[in-house]
Amino acid sequence: MRGAESAPGAGADLAFDEAFLRRLERMSLRLGRVSQTVGGRPGSRRVPAADFIDHRPYSPGDDLRHIDWNAAARHDEVFVKVGRVMQSADVQLVLDASLSMAVLPLKWQRARQLAAALGWMSLAHGDRVGLTVFPQHPDDAPAGASRGIGPAREMLRRLARLEPVPSESTALTPVLERSIRGRPGGLVVVISDFWLVDDLDRALALAPLPRWNLLLLQVLDPAELRPELDGAFELIDAESGARRSLNVDAAMRAAYRQALLRRLELLGRVASRHGASHSLLPASWSIEQAIIPYLQRRAILEGRA
Amino acid sequence: MSFGYPLALVLLAGLPIIVWLHLRRRRPRPMRVPSLSPWLSLLAATPPRRQRVPPTLLLLLHLAVAASLALAAACPRGFGGADPARERVLVLDRSASMRVAGRWSEARALARDLLATSSGEVGVVAMDARPRVLVAGDPDGRAARAALERLAPSIEAGANLDQALALAAAVARPGAEIVVIGDPGLGRPSAGAPPARFERVGSAVDNLGLSDAALRQAAGGLWLFARASSFADQAREARLGLWVDGSEIASRELTLAPGESQDAAWSLPPSAREVTLALDAGDAWPDDDRRQLRPELPGTRIQLAGESPALARALAALPGATLARVGLGDYRTDAWPQVSVFVGPAPLDPPPGGLLLVRPEPGGPLAIAGEPRNGRVVDAGTGRLAEGLDLSGLNLVGLRAMEAPAGAEVLLQTDSLPAILAWSGPTGRVMVMAFDPERGGLMDRLAFPLLVARAVAWLAEGGTGGAEPSVGEAVAMAPPLAEQDLRGAAEGWPADRARPLAVPGGRPLWPWLAGLALLLLMIEGAWRAGLLGAARRRTRGEAMGSGAA
């Protein structure tokens, strides 16, 4: 964390070591919009500054300390050195903690790691970070924003002990509405398997561009991507407990694969309709060695690890 | 390929049961999945299919084991024993020893194979005490196969191998092969017999038997001599019982060492008419554990008046009988006939001795009345005349009502009228068969000559003649009259016919099949052991991910 002390053991339960946390601090989420508050992220507004990136003609009232006298000597006009204002962003992390995420332990672990990593790197850049878990968790705090080392540690600990919550509904709309209510804009990151998010279209419409950037991170287990079931099974829905018997053979597995691809395609279309970015992240990928580099290549993350 | 016990192939019907059991075993395993939604869409899109049987290795193993055992139980035989494409004459042993369980079917299956692999003309000779040619010069084997299917093992002991080989050589074309199919007890041909190939069927059996039995008039009485022999591999105990006219009068406990024979002799009452020896051995071949002997009535003199070809044949077939065919008007009235048989009108002056009146007509000494009618046998009675005979459902034709004299006994009753009556008259015993034996199907039954034989025996006993067997005169020993051919007076049971020889016949395939089944079971056992090991190593979890990962 920039300017912050290390947080020994903060990510131990999520299999984060100190070196990884340091790497995260060197990266940040790419944002299209930042808030007006001061932060660690260079904003788009230009103001007279010592570490200038540009010149502009002097205007009355400008700080005389920022006049570039050398430039003034070479021109007939007085120039002022201007730089970017360091501003903060509003990042809202929305994590799916339904039973469908927890039935496969690797998927649940990877989703929590992803939320923790994105939250840690955002807090390291002074962004305002809010973590919302849906369905409504008994221990879920209001979706307020946090900044600084203290909330970062607390966020890791909370994610480490987070348990899935049984719920009859995993509707995203009320969750997203609660997360962005009263916010000026920023980035909403939804981490889910998106199995039962049937109101996705309506939910994404709540955070329109350019005020909000939407990032949909779909975490699926290899067993969901390419099931290796063979034979007669009684499938039990982790959410509803509903049971269905079926015989799974090669043809059935191929049909499942096709249905999954169609679902992913549909999800991508819905996301692009709202200007959101959708990424499929297999849970078998390592957070450090695969997911973070992948997000960098997708220009979702910036900075060097 | 042929089968000793083709009926055992019915066990193959159990294969679908194994498939069904495997289908039942395929209970769906519970599996928690994050969501049913992708699967539900598949179920909605996929038309319902019939449950297919998974060709698992376990199912294939079980089917192979069951099929091997079923085939092994059918005792298949290979073609190895037959040289194809030859003309053949088969000599098939049909003596009583072939009645040991399985031998006959095995022999017939082998004969079918040999016929199927023969070319040119084939022939079949049935070998027993009196061998005969069944088929000769059959160009396509069809008649030979049909004769083979009709042939059944005899109840007679003894097989005249030399005579059978001579017959076979007589009907065989030059170069044809003579194949003798018999059991392990079949003896060797004498020197000079035609060359033949011998195929043995059946296996050795643990056997005790009555190897000899004879009735003799000696020392002023009737004596029974019997010999029990052991053909078992170890000492055996048995009880030898003696019945005379249905009552057990003596018994003897025997302990026979392997190969040992023991003799027994009993003095019998002079009035004994049927003597039964029974050896309570409980062995694999019960046919030689029981003998029934009957003192032959030598020289039963019968005169037959009237026309009845069936009756004439039955009378002529009586052992030792002397039959005289006479006219209705010139029958003998002297003491020569012991039994007189009249077909049609009853004589007004009956001759002495037993009298059998068949299809009597009105106008004679008997009170016959009414029109002929039909009647179905409803009661065969319990007397010695019809006992043990199959007369069920028999429709008798030409029945007439008759006023029975005092003391008459109804021996056969139909649903309308008495069919056979008997009584003792002043000149001898009288029996009336008040129906036409030529019609109605009775003459086609084996029961008819037996009925006639018993009737003659009963009538002769009460006759005036009736010479008793003289001392030293040969007496016949025969199986129960109900089971034997009337002309088939037995010649005894040679010991070598009953002696079990451990010479298995043919090239049975069942040991290979049973071994294959055992091997498959061992493979399954090893496979299951491997599965158990794998199951122990397998990590926990019923969830979809843990299994798939």
Give residue B92's pLDDT band: very low, low, confident or very high (50, 70, 90): very high
Flag whether B64 is in a domain. Answer: yes
CA-CA distance, B239 to B281, in Å (whole number)?
A: 7
Number of domains in chain B: 4
pLDDT higher at B366 or A115: A115
Q: What are the pLDDT digits (tens) for A62-94?
A: 888 888 888 888 888 888 888 776 667 888 899
pLDDT at A118: 92
SS3 A237: strand
Give residue B466's pLDDT band: very low, low, confident or very high (50, 70, 90): very low
pLDDT at B320: 72
Is the bond preceding B131 in cis, omega lying within 30 degrees of 0? Answer: no
Does the pLDDT value for residue B491 go beyond 60? no
pLDDT at A109: 92
Domains in chain A and their CATH numbers? 12-34+89-302 (3.40.50.410), 39-87 (no CATH)
Mutate to test the interface with B, among A106, A168, A237 (most CBs of B within 10 A): A237
pLDDT at B4: 64
Does the pLDDT value for residue B151 go beyond 80? yes
Give residue B486's pLDDT band: very low, low, confident or very high (50, 70, 90): very low
Does the pLDDT value for residue B100 go beyond 50? yes
Report the chain A residue with the minimal C-alpha distance to residue B50: A247
Report the chain A residue with the minimal C-alpha distance to residue B51: A247
Flag whether B354 is in a domain. Answer: yes
pLDDT at A285: 93
The Cβ of residue A36 has, within 10 Å, a number of other Cβ atoms equal to 11
Give residue B124's pLDDT band: very low, low, confident or very high (50, 70, 90): very high
Q: What is the mean pLDDT of residues B490-518?
A: 53
Residue A235 backbone phi and psi in degrees, to 5: -80, 135
Residue B319 and residue B456 share a domain:
yes
Residue B278 and residue B216 share a domain:
yes
pLDDT at B403: 82
Q: How far is A201 from chain B (nearest CA, A)?
A: 18
Q: How far is A183 from chain B (nearest CA, A)?
A: 33
Flag whether B468 is in a domain. Answer: no
Q: Do A233 and B30 touch (CB under 8 A)?
A: yes
Residue B184 and residue B230 share a domain:
no
Q: Do A196 and B51 touch (CB under 8 A)?
A: no
Residue B282 and residue B192 share a domain:
no
pLDDT at B82: 45
Instruction: With beta carbons less than 8 A apart as the criterion, state whether B366 and B421 touch.
Output: no
pLDDT at B333: 84
Flag whether B399 is in a domain. Answer: yes
Strands B409-414 and B395-402, by their bridges, are unpaired
Residue B539 and residue B436 share a domain:
no
Residue B254 and residue B154 share a domain:
no
Q: What is the 8-class DSSP label of residue B30? A: E
Instruction: With beta carbons less than 8 A apart as the criterion, state whether B153 and B104 touch.
Output: yes
Edge-to-edge strands, sheet with B418-425: B322-326, B301-305, B339-343, B354-358, B428-433, B418-425, B409-414, B368-379, B395-402
Give residue B472's pLDDT band: very low, low, confident or very high (50, 70, 90): very low
Q: What is the mean pLDDT of residues A10-39?
A: 73
Last residue of a domain, one of B177, B200, B223: B200
Q: What is the mean pLDDT of residues A187-201?
A: 84
Mean pLDDT of chain A: 81
Does the pLDDT value for residue B314 go beyond 50? yes
CATH number, residue B432: 3.40.50.880
Please compute, for residue A122, the number of CA atoms within 13 A of its CA located in the half-sphere on the CB side. Answer: 32
Does the pLDDT value for residue B297 go beyond 60? no
Q: What is the mean pLDDT of residues B367-385?
A: 75
The Cβ of residue B502 has, within 10 Å, a number of other Cβ atoms equal to 9
Does the pLDDT value for residue A20 go beyond 80? yes
Flag whether B44 is in a domain. Answer: yes
pLDDT at A43: 62
Q: Do A232 and B42 touch (CB under 8 A)?
A: no
pLDDT at A286: 92
Q: What are the pLDDT digits (tens) for A235-287?
A: 888 888 888 888 888 888 888 999 899 989 999 999 999 989 999 999 999 99
Chain B residues lying within 8 Å of A260, measured CB to CB: 38
Residue B449 and residue B305 share a domain:
yes
Give residue A32's pLDDT band: very low, low, confident or very high (50, 70, 90): low
Q: Measured between CB atoms, which of A101, A232, A237 is closest to B28?
A: A232
Does the pLDDT value for residue B24 go beyond 90? no
Is the bond preceding A210 in cis, omega lying within 30 degrees of 0? Answer: yes
Report the chain B residue with the minimal C-alpha distance to residue A104: B545
Give residue A215's pLDDT band: very low, low, confident or very high (50, 70, 90): very high
CA-CA distance, A221 to B472, in Å (whole number)?
A: 105
Match 């029934």 to its residue by tokens. Answer: B292
Q: How far is A110 from chain B (nearest CA, A)?
A: 14
Flag whether B472 is in a domain. Answer: no
Q: Which of A115-129, A178-192, B300-314, B363-377 is predicted with the least confidence, judged by mean pLDDT?
A: B363-377
Q: Do B543 and A252 touch (CB under 8 A)?
A: no
Flag whether B45 is in a domain. Answer: yes
Residue B275 and residue B141 share a domain:
no
Flag whether B473 is in a domain. Answer: no
Instruction: With beta carbons less than 8 A apart as the criterion, state whether B139 and B121 touch.
Output: yes
Does the pLDDT value for residue B72 go beyond 60? yes
CATH number, residue B112: 3.40.50.410
CATH number, residue B281: 2.60.40.10
Residue B430 and residue B314 share a domain:
yes
The Cβ of residue B473 has, within 10 Å, a number of other Cβ atoms equal to 14
pLDDT at A37: 60
pLDDT at B544: 56
Structure tokens at B283: 């062995």
Q: Do B46 and A255 touch (CB under 8 A)?
A: yes
Residue B290 and residue B184 share a domain:
no
Radius of gyration from C-alpha coordinates of chain A: 23
Q: What is the 8-class DSSP label of residue B271? A: T
Please compute, for residue B191, the number of CA atoms within 13 A of its CA located in the half-sphere on the CB side. Answer: 0
Q: Measured between CB atoms, which of B37, B52, B545 is closest to A195?
A: B37
Q: What are the pLDDT digits (tens) for B107-121?
A: 999 999 888 888 888
Does the pLDDT value for residue B122 go beyond 80? yes
pLDDT at A112: 93
pLDDT at B499: 33
Give residue A6's pLDDT band: very low, low, confident or very high (50, 70, 90): very low
Does the pLDDT value for residue A5 go beyond 50? no
CA-CA distance, B78 to B199, in Å (whole number)?
A: 13
| Residue among B94, B98, B16, B124 at smallest CA distance from B62 | B16
Q: What is the mean pLDDT of residues A128-157?
A: 73
> Which range marks the domain in which residue B529 is found?
2-76+510-548
Residue B457 and residue B484 share a domain:
no
Residue B351 and residue B417 share a domain:
yes
Does the pLDDT value for residue B183 go beyond 90? no
CA-CA distance, A224 to A260, in Å (whole number)?
A: 9
Q: Do A247 and B45 touch (CB under 8 A)?
A: no
pLDDT at A137: 64
Instruction: With beta carbons less than 8 A apart as the criterion, state whether A8 and A20 touch.
Output: no
Give residue B179's pLDDT band: very low, low, confident or very high (50, 70, 90): very high
Q: What is the mean pLDDT of residues B30-50?
A: 75
Q: How far is B69 from chain A (nearest CA, A)?
A: 30
Q: How far is A231 from chain B (nearest CA, A)?
A: 8
